[in-house]
Amino acid sequence: MNLKYIYHSGFLLELDTAYMLFDYYKGDIPRLDKDKKLYVFISHGHGDHFNEDVFDLFRDHKDVEYILSNDVVPERQEYADKSYSLEPNKEYYFGELGVETYLSTDLGLAFMISYKGKTIYHAGDLNWWTWVGFETEKEFEELTKNFKNEIDKMEGKEIDLAMVPLDPRQAERFDWGMKYFIEKTKPRHLVPMHCWNKFTVIDKFRNKHRDLLGDINLVDTHKIPAQGIELD
């Protein structure tokens, strides 16, 4: 697997027989082999995860399919015809591609993808969204319950690559979501996203949770070179 970081929560994953593009809304997309299968995943319609232009970008691609949260509706029928609208907490199969969905704690979905022996997770905005002083105790309890309910469904899954929010805006709670995710799943490769270009948060997490990380490969997202990184 070759992983390229595009921007924010956007990534391009290249496998032997397909590309997977996640939550693109801006940034430079490398030149693609137009004869190679392309799956475009959009977790939800927020402006930092989706741009309607993503459909036009690949109009000349020979074999492209759009895997969309059901809050995202293509404006043009020609793109709707190439799209699948997914609901939360369901399993879908599109030929060799399997997708299990989870309900985001913000909007839309998280994706657990199975493809030719690899398991890939993109969280979208599924995270433990909590800030000190910004919610009531009741709201905090509801947020916490909703997040843990979804992550607990993943317990025991063997995940080859996980792309998960690590948001510095949450201050002292920045690590809660990723920490809980690791405690339940233990992915082989873990790629922080949604960092708002404040990537020092990655080392902050690494230094705080070395024992928890163990042999998990925590990737420095901003250091991924233009040619991508190879992940086994």
Looking at residue 26, its amino acid is K
DSSP 17: S
Integer Cα distance of 196 and 31 in angstroms:
25
| CA of residue 87 relative to chain centroid, distance | 16
Task: State the pTM of this model.
Answer: 0.97
Q: So what's the pLDDT on residue 190? A: 98
Looking at residue 188, its amino acid is R
User: What are the pLDDT digits (tens) for 211-228?
Assistant: 999 999 999 999 999 999
* Domain annotation for the chain: domains and CATH numbers: 2-230 (3.60.15.10)
User: What are the pLDDT digits (tens) for 49-105?
Assistant: 999 999 999 988 999 999 999 999 999 999 899 999 999 999 999 999 999 999 999
Q: Find the angle CA(30)-CA(203)-CA(11) to the nearest 5 degrees.
A: 20
